[in-house]
Structure 1
Amino acid sequence: MTSNAPTFSQLPQPTPIPSFADLSISIIVSDLSNSGAGRWGGAVRPFLLSQALQKLGCRVKLVGFCFGDAGAIESTPDLPIDAIPGQPYPGFGRSVRSALRQIDGDIIYAYKPKPTSFGVALLQKLRTHRPLILDIDDWELSWHGGDKWHYRPCVKQLARDLLKPNGALRLPDHPLYLKWTERLISQADAVTVHTQFLQRRFGGTYVPNGKDVVLFNPARYDVQALKQKYGLSHYRVLMFPGAPRPYKGVEDVLTAIEQLRDPTLRLVIVGGSPYDDYDSHLLAKWGDWIIKLPKVPHTLMPEVIAAADVIVVPQRNTPAAQAQFPLKLTDGMAMAKPILATRVGDIPGILSETGYLVDPDAPEQLAAQIRWIFAHFEEAIDRAQYARQRCIDYYSLDVMALKLADVITQVGRSI
């Protein structure tokens, strides 16, 4: 384990942000419910795209659907949102017609290659001949088995899937339709992606997630006061500030903590999983080592991060993890926290030498690295300062805006 702090001989120089003050952009989002894009407030990709585009002077609006009874995200003075009630097929056609009337931007920007976003955007492009950008922040089919997934029903199953009120093929984003939609990606005028994995698979321009490094600035927060506020003063805190899911490797960190048997160590999970009862599974097995904090608004997330000693991003080596840009990574970088992560996907490139890396699915390596970080904590804090600078230079909202400016210039010639 190296003990030398990283150095950077060449860092990008600040570049003036261009202005597109006369341009309006409609971002099409498949799920604008509070359990969809709204579950993490302003922290997820559609809101980051909106903030970066607004830095360019663009007028931005979100348009999309709200399925079920989760409730729609509400508009704010800074960001208008049109959430249309979504229905299964065939009623979804009426939802689409309502959405098309709201998509009035000079540029159409579809978030995710789904029928409920990219499919709708393609229809609007055909109607209006406006340029269309597609943003890909996940490999959607990876949740269904990736390239191995196939739909081969018998005649009876096909009839049930099509005709029953809860038939699978009545879902607007069924994997079969996702597969068809992927084949239409070339119809977009430009594609943006946020990981190298997605760029290799789909092409496009690499636009990694940007962080608000003004909001996420450790100088604004009193660490000891916040540790006391959240009941963490007596612990050495490893924090996972995301939604636990099996591929995110939280079990590996808990196994490592169990191996260390240090009574001062705790894994703090913020918000928990909105998808299922996975939290309950973790608490049933490792409850003595877990502190669960409630979900907080995005604007309060920096103070929660400030109460951590180390941020852990222990992704497992799965297609879903390879395709993702973990937002908690730049949460920790911007807040100058030591980061312990796994060598999965873009994580090594994002951190470079500013964090600590171990192999995926290796609790014993995590345990050894946790022990080492706390034994050399002053050095870990020094290294974390480089992580913040790297976040500012490569993964800030300003940098995201500059990358989007190039894409807009590319497609804007047809306006």
Structure 2
Amino acid sequence: MKITLLSFDLSHNCLGRAYLLAKVLERRYEIEIIGPTFGKGIWNPVDTGEFHYKSVPGVMYPFFLSSINKILRSISCDVIYAIKPRPTSYGIGILKKIQSKLPLILDIDDWELGFCQNIKSKIRLSDPNSFLYTWLMEKSTFLADEITVSSTFLQKKFGGNIVIHGRDTNAFDPSRFNRDSLREKWDLNSKKVVMFLGTPSQHKGLEDVINALISLNRRDIIFLVVGAQDDSYTCHLKELGGNRIKLIGMQPFHKVPEFLSMADLVVLPQHKSDNAIGQVPAKVFDAMAMAKPIIASRVSDLPEILDGCGMIVEPSDIEGLSECINYILDNEKEAQIIGSNAREKCIKEYSFDAIENVLTGIFDKYA
């Protein structure tokens, strides 16, 4: 059986979810990934050569009509899997379903309207993924034959089966990496490394981490941000953090465990906002698989995911965050136990094997 995954944009980090699902699905099915590029080529971390991405130009209307036709002609499958309820993925999937009577499955891993609240996006009708069109997609989820979601918030809102982000716990195995040599390579031998790995943005609480480290005033701690971009927000973080922060750019996905192996602690201090309310950051599973102690905020499903294997603070609680950071870094044996418990839970509940069981239960209906 062949599955076509439709991604609404192949150029940005939203492609990560399609990549993850494709990695699991390719174990049993033939897959292809198709979508527009609203940026410079394929998003670098997953442009690894593992998949051939069929791309079309991501442009404004009316020119995007040509891209829609190209995608429709490119789809050759038994089942369509549209990633996100966006017009340039799910919308095109609906058109193909009507045209060819193919089964259509929708995946929802964010509350998309939470990302489209500014006025410009509401009135910019030339944008194929504007607020209005995205709103219409959210109201049309009933047209999907099946729905998968990544969190309980999204399940309550849209129904469907939960397919957590998860990770390949064989590839993400701390025993495969030489932590000491990697730390020496990046000049981190003398430091306690507090790490954030992902795309920095305001709702992810990186400023809270910096302010927590400022309050601790410890010279032995470095805040390592892996995935930094060349933008104004990154410049702001550098200015705020000074010599307390070290920034490394985006990395190929296969190098993620290599960087995580250097960390003493991983932080995910998300804010409680429309952007994050339904979101489960995929990086929590990276850190769990690599047996890292994690501090996360009480947002979405993070408290349940880290129950018994992580520490939870209230969103924007800088004092609580600083206390947890200090505790983990000063109690190495307990930190190792927390990390070991996290990996054990990840293997059991959030590994590719666990995700595969859920996905095959859905897709085998259409084989």
TM-score of the superposed pair, with normalisation by structure 2: 0.95
Q: 1:408 to 1:293 in 2, by over 3 A?
A: same
Do 2:81 and 2:106's aligned partners in 1 also have CA atoms closer than 8 Å? yes
Q: Does 1:188 align with 2:144?
A: yes
| Match of residue 401, structure 1, among 309, 331, 356 | 356
| Match of residue 259, structure 1, among 204, 208, 215 | 215
Larger Rg: 1
Q: Does 1:58 align with 2:58?
A: no
Distance in 1, matches of 2:203 and 2:313, equals: 16
Pairwise CA distance, 1:245: 1.0
Moved over 3 A (4+): 35-38, 72-78, 148-151
SS in 2 for 1:169: coil
Pairwise CA distance, 1:145: 3.1
Q: Does 1:115 align with 2:83?
A: no
| Match of residue 157, structure 2, among 177, 190, 201 | 201
What are the superposed Cα offsets for residues 388-412 of structure 1, whole Å, 9 maximum, x if unpaired? 01001111111111111111134x1
What are the superposed Cα offsets for residues 307-354 of structure 1, whole Å, 9 maximum, x if unpaired? 010011111111211211112211111000111111111101111110
What are the superposed Cα offsets for residues 91-150 of structure 1, whole Å, 9 maximum, x if unpaired? 21111111111111100010110110000000000011110000011111101339x999
What are the superposed Cα offsets for residues 219-274 of structure 1, whole Å, 9 maximum, x if unpaired? 11111111111111111010001111111011111111000100001110002146
Distance in 1, matches of 2:197 and 2:303, equals: 19
Q: Which residue of structure 2 lines up, in the alignment, with residue 171 of structure 1?
A: 127
Q: Which residue of structure 2 lines up, in the alignment, with residue 25 of structure 1?
A: 3
| Match of residue 240, structure 1, among 187, 196, 216 | 196
TM-score of the superposed pair, with normalisation by structure 1: 0.84
Q: Which runs of 5+ in 2 are unaligned?
A: none
What are the superposed Cα offsets for residues 189-225 of structure 1, whole Å, 9 maximum, x if unpaired? 0000011111111111100012011111001111111
Do 1:210 and 1:398's aligned partners in 2 also have CA atoms closer than 8 Å? no
Distance in 2, matches of 1:393 and 1:277, equals: 40
Q: Does 1:143 align with 2:98?
A: no
The higher-RCO structure (CA 8 Å, 6+ apart) is: 1
Distance in 2, matches of 1:376 and 1:266, equals: 17
Q: Which residue of structure 2 lines up, in the alignment, with residue 282 of structure 1?
A: 237
Distance in 1, matches of 2:47 and 2:212, equals: 43
Do 1:245 and 1:273's aligned partners in 2 also have CA atoms closer than 8 Å? no
Which deviates more from structure 2 when the two are superposed, residues 212-221 or residues 372-381? 372-381
Provide the aligned length of Structure 1 versus Structure 2.
365
Q: Which residue of structure 2 lines up, in the alignment, with residue 351 of structure 1?
A: 306
| Match of residue 251, structure 2, among 292, 296, 299 | 296
Do 1:48 and 1:397's aligned partners in 2 also have CA atoms closer than 8 Å? no
SS in 2 for 1:319: coil
Q: Does 1:315 align with 2:270?
A: yes
What are the superposed Cα offsets for residues 275-307 of structure 1, whole Å, 9 maximum, x if unpaired? x42010111122121011232211111111000
Distance in 1, matches of 2:55 and 2:242, equals: 39
What are the superposed Cα offsets for residues 54-77 of structure 1, whole Å, 9 maximum, x if unpaired? 12x200000111235x12469877
Distance in 2, matches of 1:376 and 1:327, equals: 26
Which deviates more from structure 2 when the two are superposed, residues 57-66 or residues 276-285? 276-285
SS in 1 for 2:287: helix
Q: Which residue of structure 2 lines up, in the alignment, with residue 94 of structure 1?
A: 66
